[in-house]
Structure formats: C-alpha cells, structure tokens
Amino acid sequence: MATTTTTTTTNKEKIDSISKHCKPYINKMLKDLSIKNFENACIICDYIIAEQIEFDIKPTTKIGILVPQHKLVS
C-alpha cells in the first residue's frame, strides 16, 4: 500500500511540474487522466519530462503532445 501512495504522490508531483507554466486545464487534464488510467498518465508524464530534459520544450509543445494523447486514452 505504501508503494501505491508513494507512486501516486510522485505522479502528482510530476503533473504539477509539467503543468507549472501551462494553463490550469493542463493540470486538470493530467490529473483526470491519472484517475481514469494511472499507468497511461505515468507514461505520458515521463515522456513529457524526457522531452523537457532533452529538447527544452515550451508549454505550447506540451499542450500539443498532451491533448491528442488525452483524447486517445480517454
């Protein structure tokens, strides 16, 4: 049980980090996705974080990545 709580907390931190400079609906979209399909939300968060590290992507690029993925998964 502790692992699930830690994983959930870590994912919420990732979501907050990803959506820090984006509009509020991005944070809400990711949190809703993590409730519906936690594993897919984790994968999307990890992908966006990797893109941020490798390519220093802008908030608009995050939106461009997230919205189509959210539509596919939801």
Distance of CA 37 to the CA centre of its chain: 12
pLDDT digits (tens, 9 = 90+) for 23-69: 899 899 989 988 888 898 888 889 999 998 999 888 888 888 888 87
Q: pTM here?
A: 0.77
Residue 47: CA count within 13 A, CB half-sphere = 14
Where do the H-state alpha helices sit in 1-74?
A: 2-18, 24-36, 38-55, 59-73
